[in-house]
Amino acid sequence: MTGGTIDATGLLFLSLREAEALDALVARIIPGDAADPGAREAGVTTYIDRALAGPYAEWRLAYRDGMRLVDAFAQASYGKRIGQLADADQDEILAALQEDRVPGFAAGDGARFFDMIWAHTIEGMFSDPAYGGNRDAAGWRLIGFPGAQYGYSADEMRYGADLTGKPIMTLADIRRLADEQPNLFYQRRDHRPPGRGATPPMPPAETTLESDQSQGG
Amino acid sequence: MAAKQADVVIVGLGASGAVLARELTEAGMHVLAIEKGPDYGPDDFWLKFDELRYSARCGISPTMDTDPITWRPNGAATARVAPWAVGPGAGNPLFLPPSLGVGGGSIHWACWFWRQREEDFRMRSVIRERFGDKVFPEGSRIVDWPVSYQELEPHYAAVEAEQGVSGQAGNISGELIPGGNPFEAPRSGPFPHPPIRPSASNQPFVEAASKLGYHPFPAAAAILSEDDGDRKACVYCGFCRDYGCHVGAKAETQNTTLPRAFATGRLEVLANCRVQRVNVDRDGRARSVSYVDARGDVHEAAGDLVVLAAYALENVRLLLASGINRNGAVGKWYTIHNYHWFSGDMPRDTLIYAGAAVGGWVIDDPNANWADHSDGAFLWGSPILYFAGDTQPIEGVRNLPPDTPLWGAGFKDYLRSSYRRRFGMYSQMATLPLESNFLDLDPTVKDPWGQPALRITHNWGDHDRAGGVWLNGIKQRIAEEMGALRTWPAPMEPPYHVTTHEHGGHVMGDDPADSVVNRYQQSHEVPNLFVIGGGSFPTMNGYNPTGTIQALALWTADYIKQETRRGGALTGALGRATA
Ligand SMILES: Cc1cc2nc3c(=O)[nH]c(=O)nc-3n(C[C@H](O)[C@H](O)[C@H](O)COP(=O)(O)OP(=O)(O)OC[C@H]3O[C@@H](n4cnc5c(N)ncnc54)[C@H](O)[C@@H]3O)c2cc1C
C-alpha cells in the first residue's frame, strides 16, 4: 500500500478516487515493490486511464460503475476505501470480485469486471512504455523479454541462451535508430503514378469534431 | 451507364489481387484496383514493434465496428456479431479476416508457404481408393479439384520466384532430396532461397520428432533468408505474424509484386474505397462495381472484366449482395482450420519472442491419408508445426496453463518463469465441406454504410474432435521426448469460427449446377466476372492456403490472357485488343 504513484494532474478520465481504487486492485494482481516492481510500480493505472480516455471509451461506464461498487464493498466490509486497506484485506476484495461476490453487480458482471481489469493489467504491464504502463520496462524485465529489438543474431538464438543482459529496447529506441540509420530499414523504389487522388478531401470540419456528451458519468 | 475506366476492375489488392494485377498489366491491360484499406508506403512499418497496436488491438485488421461478421452454431440459432472478436480484452488477428490495405493479408501473415500435395487435389479419389465410399459422411461434398497439381506446378514455381520463398526442396522431379519434406509433391526445381534460421528451441523438437520416427524439415517461408533487391534478409526481430516487416523480408505483395505492376504505368489504385456491389446488366454481364469512398460518396467504376479478390468471406458477401446466386451455390461448403494449439514449458529459455514463427520445423507425416482412417472418425490428417518464435508478451502471458493463479505472488511467479520457457505446436485440421456449415447475409446486422453483414453458420463437429485428439497425442509424445516440464492443449472446440484460413463459399467445379466458378475461377453465372481466392477451394487440407491462392491467381491470369486473344472464349470482352 504505497500512495503517491498516481499523478492526479495526469489523469485523463478517472477521478483521483477511482484511480486509487483501481491502483489498489492492479497492485494485488501483480504485486511488487521498488526492488521488484509490480503493476502499480509499472504504471498500469496510468495505462488504463489513457486507454479509457481514448480507444477504450466504450468501457468507461463499466469502470466507473465497477470501481464505485468495489469501493462501496470495501467501506461496508472494512469501513475504509479499498486504497486505504491492508494488502490482505484488498486480496479479500479482489477474490470476492473474481468470484462474483461483490454486491451490486448483476449476476456475472462482477466476475466480468475482474476479467476486464485483469486483461487491461496485462496490456498495461507488457505493452510498450509509450502507452503509459510498463514503466522502465518493468513488465518486460519481469518476464525476460528484451523488448522492441531490431533483430537477433544467430548466436543469440540458441535454446537455453540467457539474454537477460541484453539492453532492453523500446519503440522510442527504434524511432531513434530509424532516424539515425534509415538504411537499416526497408526502402522501396516506387513507381506510383500520380493517379486521380485516391484519398478524397476531408469532410467538413463540423462533422469531425467528436461530441463527448454521451459519456457523462 | 458508367463510362469504362479500365480493361479490368479488381476488387481488393491483397495476396491474390496484386499477383493478378501484376500479370495483367504486364500483358498490356489497364487495371483499376479498388482497395478498402490504405495504400501503405515503404516506411509505414518501420515502427511496427508494437504488440498492443498491431496484435492485441488488431490495428490493421478489419474489426467488427466497421466490418461486422455474425455467427451462429446452426441454422436454427440467431446469429450474433462474432462474440470472440468483441470485448474488452486483447484481441487476436488470427480470428478475424486478414489485414486491410494494399498488400492485404500478405502484410500480417506468418508466411508459411505451401504447395498442396498431389493427394490434396484428389481428396475424394484418394479416400475412396483406400477406405471405400462408406466413409463419406452424409451431407458432405468431398470432391476432387477440377485442377491438378501438375497444372498448377509452373504457377507455384512462379509464385515462389516472385515472392522470394526460402525453403528446402524434398522432391525435385520425383527424386527425394535429403533434408526436405519427403511427402512433398514433385517440384520442377529448388526454392529460390535457402531456409530461414530455425527458432531458438527448434533443435529439441527436431531431435525428439526424429527419434520417434517422424521426418522433420524446415517449413518453406515467404520470408527472405538473404537480401534480394530492395528487400533485405530477415533479421529475426520476432514481430512478424500480425505485423508488416521493417526490412521488407516478408513477402508482402505491395513490396514484392506491385512495384512491377506500377512500372507498367497501367495500374491505378483507389485506396480507402470499399466496393459494395457488382452491377450486372440485363444481358447478364458485369457492367461495373459500386464503391463508397472515404467521404461516404458512392461511385461506379466500369470495366470489361471484373475480378473479386476481396478474400473468401468478402467475395461471398459481395456476390450475395449483388444478387449473383442463381443456382444457390454461393456460400456453401465453408471450411476452416482447427489449430488445436498445444503449449508447453521447457526446462530452459526458448526465446519464444525471437525469430519468425515459421522458423519452427514441421512434420508432415500425420498429414493427408497417412493414418488409417477406415473407421471414418476423421478422413484427412494435418502436419504438426513447431511454434516457438514470434510470440510477444501479451499473447504469451495470456496463454495460461490450467490452474495458474490469476493474481498475487503465485501469478507473479508464473510470469517470471513460464513465458521465457514457452514453446508450442499446432496443427491444421481442416473441417469437411458439410451442408451444415455455410455463409449467407445476416437478415438484420448491417455495416455503417447500410450493407448487410456476412453471417457464418458453423460449428465444430465429431470429425474435428477426433482429428484433434489424435494429433494432440502425437504432440504430447514429442513434447515428452523433448523433456517438456508441462504441456496444455487449447480447448478442442475453440470459441472462434474464423481462423484466417477460410475456404469455400464460391467453390470451383466443372458443373455449373453445383459450383460457383469454373476451374479458371470464372463465374458460371456472369461470364466476365472472376472470383479468386480460398473461396474457390472445393475441399480444404492441412496446409496454410496462400501459396495455392497465389498460384491459382496466376493460373487465372494465364487463362484471361489466353482467352482475350483473337479466337478465345473472352474475345471481344475487352474493348481494346491486348495481344
Ligand atoms: C495473422 C494471420 C497470419 C496468417 N498466416 C498465414 C501463413 O503463414 N500462411 C498462409 O498461407 N496464409 C496465412 N494467412 C492467411 C492469408 O492472409 C490469406 O490466405 C491471404 O491473405 C488471402 O489472400 P486473398 O487475396 O484472398 O485476400 P487478402 O489478402 O485478404 O486480400 C483481400 C483484399 O481485399 C480488400 N477488400 C476486402 N473487402 C473489400 C471491398 N469490399 N472493397 C475493396 N477492397 C476490399 C482487403 O482490404 C484486402 O486488401 C494468415 C492470416 C492472418 C490473419
> Does B259 contact A30 at a Cβ distance shorter than 8 Å?
no
Nearest CA to ligand 1 atom 27: B311
Report the distance separating Cα B199 and Cα B101, nearest Å: 30
Closest CB to B419 among A115, A143, A159: A143
Q: pTM of this prediction? A: 0.95
* Strands B69-72 and B452-457, sheet pairing: parallel
Q: Is the pLDDT of residue B294 over 60?
A: yes
The HSE-up count of residue B554 (CA atoms within 13 Å, CB side) is 19
Report the distance separating Cα B270 and Cα B35, nearest Å: 6
> Does A186 contact B231 at a Cβ distance shorter than 8 Å?
yes
Region A122-132: what's the mean pLDDT? 98
Report the distance separating Cα A207 and Cα B524, nearest Å: 45
H or E element, residue B6: strand B4-11
Q: Give the pLDDT of residue A214.
A: 32
- Tell me the per-residue pLDDT of B320-371, one tens digit each, with 9 for 90 and over: 999 999 999 999 999 999 999 999 999 999 999 999 999 999 999 999 988 8
Q: Give the pLDDT of residue B536.
A: 98
CA distances from B519 to B138, B348, B570 (A): 26, 51, 15
Q: Is the CB of B115 under 6 A from ligand 1?
A: no
Q: Give the pLDDT of residue B1.
A: 55
* B215 included as an active-site residue: no
Q: Give the pLDDT of residue A5.
A: 61
Exposed e or buried b for every residue in B213-249, given b needs 16+ CB within 10 A? ebbbbbbbbbbbbeebeebbbbbbbbbbbbbbbbbbb
When pLDDT is cut at 50, 70 and 90, the band that residue A211 belongs to is very low
Q: Give the pLDDT of residue A208.
A: 35
Q: Give the pLDDT of residue A191.
A: 65
Q: Is the pLDDT of residue B570 over 90?
A: no
The HSE-up count of residue A78 (CA atoms within 13 Å, CB side) is 18
Q: Give the pLDDT of residue A194.
A: 58
- Tell me the per-residue pLDDT of B445-474, one tens digit each, with 9 for 90 and over: 999 999 999 999 999 999 999 999 999 999
- CB-CB contact of B161 with B193 (8 Å): no
Closest CB to A188 among B56, B259, B406: B259
Region B481-489: what's the mean pLDDT? 98
- Tell me the per-residue pLDDT of B493-546, one tens digit each, with 9 for 90 and over: 999 999 999 999 999 999 999 999 999 999 999 999 999 999 999 999 999 999
Q: Give the pLDDT of residue B569.
A: 79
When pLDDT is cut at 50, 70 and 90, the band that residue A215 belongs to is very low
Q: Which residue of A has its CA nearest to B397?
A: A122
Q: Which residue of A has its CA nearest to B482?
A: A159
- CB-CB contact of B289 with B2 (8 Å): no
If one compares A204 and A91, the residue with the highest pLDDT of the two is A91
Out of B255, B256, B500, B543, mutate this one to test ligand 1's pocket (max ligand atoms within 8 Å of CB): namely B500
Report the distance separating Cα B572 and Cα B337, nearest Å: 41
The HSE-up count of residue B9 (CA atoms within 13 Å, CB side) is 24
| Cross-strand partners of B457 | B72, B438
- CB-CB contact of B310 with B395 (8 Å): no
When pLDDT is cut at 50, 70 and 90, the band that residue B479 belongs to is very high
> Does B351 contact A163 at a Cβ distance shorter than 8 Å?
yes
Q: What are phi and psi of B137, to 5 degrees?
A: -70, 155
Region B167-174: what's the mean pLDDT? 98
Q: Give the pLDDT of residue B369.
A: 87
Q: In B216-336, which ranges are E strands? A: 267-270, 274-280, 286-292, 298-308
What is the 3-class SS of B422-440, one letter each residue?
A: EEEEEECEECCCECCCEEE
Task: Calculate helix-pair angle for A109-126, A87-98, nearest 10 degrees.
Answer: 120
Residue given cell 518463469 in the structure block = B417
Q: Give the pLDDT of residue A1.
A: 40
SS3 call for B161: helix
- Of the residues A47, A48, A145, the best mutation for testing chain B's interface (the one with the most B CB atoms within 10 Å of its CB) is A145
Q: Tell me the average pLDDT of chain B.
A: 95
Residues of chain A with Cβ-Cβ distance to B235 below 8 Å are: 150-152
